[in-house]
Structures are given as structure tokens and as C-alpha cells.
Structure 1
Amino acid sequence: MAAGGFSRLPNGTVVVALNLPSPLPGGDPVRVLVHAGNRARALTRLRNLGLRAVYLRGNTEPPTPDEITAVLHHPDGLIWRTPPAADAAVTELWRPIRALFARPATPPAPQGV
């Protein structure tokens, strides 16, 4: 079960924030923010990306006002970054979710003569 929470906005939509283990082997944990019509739809958006075992039980770590602003200003409404350490300042920018699943580009193989 992932730690996380949600905030209901005045227009009735919700922003869900989840701390998840990295979907890639050996990766750092990630903080994912999803803007959707309700909590179920937010979790469905993540499950459709391949994060099948994502559940939200409780509201232990709801999104901060800065996180809500970040996800509302992103056109996809689905962003992530690695969570900062407890004693470190936030220096990493939010990234679109497709960057989390993007494979690193491999250089072309050398052509033999």
C-alpha cells in the first residue's frame, strides 16, 4: 500500500498524491500527483499506465498547496518527481508521467565494414 492522500478542490475535482516505489528496477521512490474528477478515476489513470497495485487508503500525506498548483498547471494533470530527503530542500522539478516510463535512448550499433 502506498502512502498518500487527496485534496478536494472547490470545483469538485480531486488531486491525489501518492508515494510509490519506482516502477523501474533499482530506481528511487517517486511522488506522483494526479488531477481527476474523483479518487477512483485518479487511481484508474495510474492503473492504465501499468501501476496495477496502486491503492489509496487514508489521507496520511495529502498534496501540499504547491503540489496542487503544479498539477493544475500541467496539461496532462499527471506529474511526478522523487521526494526530497527530510533535511534537504526541494530542487527537482516536476516531470510529466511519460518521462517516468521512457526508456533511455541507446546509441546505434556501429556499422561493420
Structure 2
Amino acid sequence: MTLTGSGFIRLPGGSVVVALSLPRPGGSGHRVRVLVHAANRPRALTRLRNLGLRAVYLRGNTEPPTPDEVTAVLHHPDGLVWRGAPEDDTESWHPIRALLRPSVPEQLSPR
């Protein structure tokens, strides 16, 4: 899937931060903003594909990461974070594991 609202920025050391707007897993119709720090763009996309997001491609640079987004991903130990409301600066960035973990089915209460 070619993604709108995506882009990248090359850092002074040569690495890149890639920002992608992806559909939220589970088909809720909402989008999430995902940030990836990697040595280069292909490696950033490979990191996402290795997590199961197989059809992720970056075409163009329509919405590169903001300085705040770059700071957020550089200060996270995994270098891979997401936020459910990209326009809401008050929402925290979350580790990618929190987005991709399987949802726990609701247990039925006994009658």
C-alpha cells in the first residue's frame, strides 16, 4: 500500500526517520502515525515489514516527520513508536508492541 501522509528526513549522521500514516490494525477506519529510525529508508520499511506490516511502501515525501516527532523516536530505545491521534500533541508516543499485540478477546461472564 502506498501511503499518503508519509515522508522522511535524513539526519546529520546519515540515518533517517521515516513517518507513515497507517490504517490502525483491526479495521477501525482510524489511522495512526508511525515513526521509524533506521540507517536508511529501505531498512526503516524492512523493520515494519518484519513486524507483519508487509505491504508498506514509501512513495514521495508529502509529510516528513516534524522536529517533535524526530525527537520522540530518537529518545525511544526501540526507535519505533506510534500515536493514534497524530494531530494531538498531548497524546504520548507508544512503543510499536502496544499497537501490534493481539487484542485479548472479552471473556463471557457466567449467567
Fold shared per TM-score above 0.5: yes
Aligned partner of residue 48 in structure 2, secondary structure: helix
Counterpart position of 2:64: 62
| CA RMSD, Structure 1 to Structure 2 (Å) | 1.9
Select the structure of larger CA radius of gyration.
1
Distance 1:92 1:58 in 2: 27
- Among all aligned residue pairs of Structure 1 and Structure 2, give the percentage whose two residues are the same amino acid: 67
Amino acid at match of 1:76: D
Distance 2:29 2:23 in 1: 8
Deviations 1:26-83 (A, max 9, x none): 2521000000000000000000111111000000000000000000000000000123
Mark the runs of 5 or more structure 1 residues left unpaired by the alignment: none
Distance 2:85 2:107 in 1: 34
Distance 1:16 1:83 in 2: 17
Contact 1:31 1:81 (8 Å CA) reproduced: yes
Aligned partner of residue 31 in structure 1, secondary structure: strand
Aligned partner of residue 35 in structure 1, secondary structure: strand
Aligned partner of residue 24 in structure 2, secondary structure: coil
Aligned partner of residue 33 in structure 1, secondary structure: strand
Distance 2:86 2:46 in 1: 26
TM-score (norm 1): 0.85
Distance 1:16 1:9 in 2: 11
Amino acid at match of 2:42: A
Contact 1:23 1:51 (8 Å CA) reproduced: no
Distance 1:104 1:49 in 2: 16
Distance 1:68 1:23 in 2: 23
Deviations 1:2-36 (A, max 9, x none): 12000000000000000011122225210000000
Amino acid at match of 1:72: L
TM-score (norm 2): 0.87
